[in-house]
Structure 1
Amino acid sequence: MTNHILKAISFIFHPLIMPVLGVMFYFHKTPRFIPDPLQNAKLFSVSILTIILPILLFYMLKTINKVDTIYLKTTKERIIPLLLNCVIALLIVKRVLPPDEIIELYYFFIGILFSSLSCLILAMLKVKASIHMIAASGFFMFALAVGIHFKVNINGTIALMAIILGAIATSRLHLKAHTFPELIIGFAVGFIPQLLLLQFWL
């Protein structure tokens, strides 16, 4: 039973959904007036590029035997998906969320781009970082910054994300997908870029 629950946690909080959650969180908390059609268009575009497209690319890579599972267990099979993820993040900041429209989300995805590049470099060096932790900690730092930026109460979000981060870490350890150092590296790779970029928009 425990094994099934922990597997479910890894699936539910998959890294692919975190960018979309970041966009949804921002639109929910911002006091700025952003027309609903614009919000829906941005959310739809981000969903296509960060969820649907990576899934399609994964199945293409699986068909040609470049990856084995969606969890990318080895550093070798992470290289191409991470490179593609960098291209997707770059496309988002260039075409979907340019800095002259919604600067907070622009830097959120710049942070995602830097995290993806860092994870790619680590994979090339045969260092495995938890992509689950990268995605979750990046969202966590962005949510904290949004709360500070707009002076809104996000205590509930902070508490929930702390629980989720703990659950993800427990899940990845229990499933032997990562070691404790790999989880720490993943947390840092996701958290630090978002933290360093705060100087440009906070």
Structure 2
Amino acid sequence: MDKILKSISYIFHPLLIPILGVIFYFFKSPRFIPEEMVKAKLVSLFILTVILPILLYFLLKTLGKVKSIYLQTTNERIIPLILNCFVVIIILQRIITPSQTIELYFFFVGILISTMVCLILAIFKFKASIHMISISGLFMFMAILSIHFSININNTLALMVIIIGAVATSRLLLNAHTYKELIMGMFIGVIPQLILVPYWL
């Protein structure tokens, strides 16, 4: 059971969620987007949202700033969250522009807002669940996108609800978070995506 719970945390790790959202968008978008552009953006985003954070983690671990990839204390979270904010800002300025894919642009704006809120809470010694922030934000983006494009993804959304429950259960049973931290994480992920809806829906 312990291995299953840990595998859920790894499979739906926050580092992978942004790229999953982008893949979902390109797969479901009715707009014509050149294949070369899609590949270029996916490769660029994978490097910035997955490879770079992993390299930065090992650097921080070498410097003694973090102890594990789970960032178990609020102090360990501060520097990685600050770095992640800068990464998302670079993405918004160089890769995902509102003129090309406005939906993805505001998806990442929502990610930036959620990250900043999580950072502020970490500074005040509250450890909101980053797993819940990311997976809940992705769920809300998918739901809004289905309305925007008038597509039926009820099965996908139902699966996402199950995944959110599985992630929450795994974080709880692994003693990584409390109920309060999980619920706060869910709200931090969902609310920014909702607030930004009027700007692109």
Counterpart for residue 59 of structure 1: 58
Map 1:1-202 onto structure 2 (within 5 A). 2-202=1-201
Counterpart residue identity of residue 57, structure 1: L
Structure 1 gaps of 5+ residues are none
Counterpart residue identity of residue 69, structure 1: S
CA distance in 2, matches of 1:27, 1:21: 10
Q: Once the 2 structures are TM-superposed, how far is the Cα of residue 74 of structure 1 from its aligned partner?
A: 0.3
Q: Once the 2 structures are TM-superposed, how far is the Cα of residue 183 of structure 1 from its aligned partner?
A: 0.1
Give the TM-score taking structure 1 as reference length.
Answer: 0.99
Give the TM-score taking structure 2 as reference length.
Answer: 0.99
Counterpart residue identity of residue 140, structure 1: F
Q: Once the 2 structures are TM-superposed, how far is the Cα of residue 156 of structure 1 from its aligned partner?
A: 1.3
CA distance in 1, matches of 2:197, 2:103: 9
Q: Once the 2 structures are TM-superposed, how far is the Cα of residue 68 of structure 1 from its aligned partner?
A: 0.6
Counterpart residue identity of residue 143, structure 2: L
Counterpart residue identity of residue 60, structure 1: L
Structure 2 gaps of 5+ residues are none
CA distance in 1, matches of 2:56, 2:3: 27
Q: Once the 2 structures are TM-superposed, how far is the Cα of residue 3 of structure 1 from its aligned partner?
A: 1.1
Q: Once the 2 structures are TM-superposed, how far is the Cα of residue 157 of structure 1 from its aligned partner?
A: 1.1
Q: Which portions of structure 1, spanning 4 or more consecutive aligned residues, are displaced by more than 4 angstroms?
A: none
Counterpart residue identity of residue 158, structure 1: L
RMSD: 0.5
Counterpart residue identity of residue 96, structure 2: L
CA distance in 2, matches of 1:190, 1:44: 25
